[in-house]
Amino acid sequence: MTLDLMRPGEEAVISGYHNDVEDEALRLLEMGLIIGSVVRFIKKAPFGDPIQIRIRGFDLSLRRNLARSIIATPIR
């Protein structure tokens, strides 16, 4: 699953990135979106973009197309 498919309240562990995000990889790392990090989906904007997640104790808004590039494994 990717971050854009999560629902409010769901948690997941970042497990990788799609190949199309190579140019943004450093930026993702700087924002704390590293493999193994736990993310909690907070909410989507009214038209679905951006989304808000919580990671490492802070809230972060991401464009939907960037969230679609981040692969996550749901925590059950």
DSSP state of 48: S
Tell how strand 38-44 and strand 58-62 pair up. Answer: unpaired
Q: Which domains does the chain have, with CATH numbers?
A: 3-74 (2.30.30.90)
- Cβ-Cβ contacts under 8 Å for 76 (sequence gap 6 or more): none
pLDDT by residue (tens digit) across 2-48? 999 999 999 999 999 887 666 777 788 888 899 999 999 999 999 88
pTM of the model: 0.85
Give pLDDT, residue 13. 98
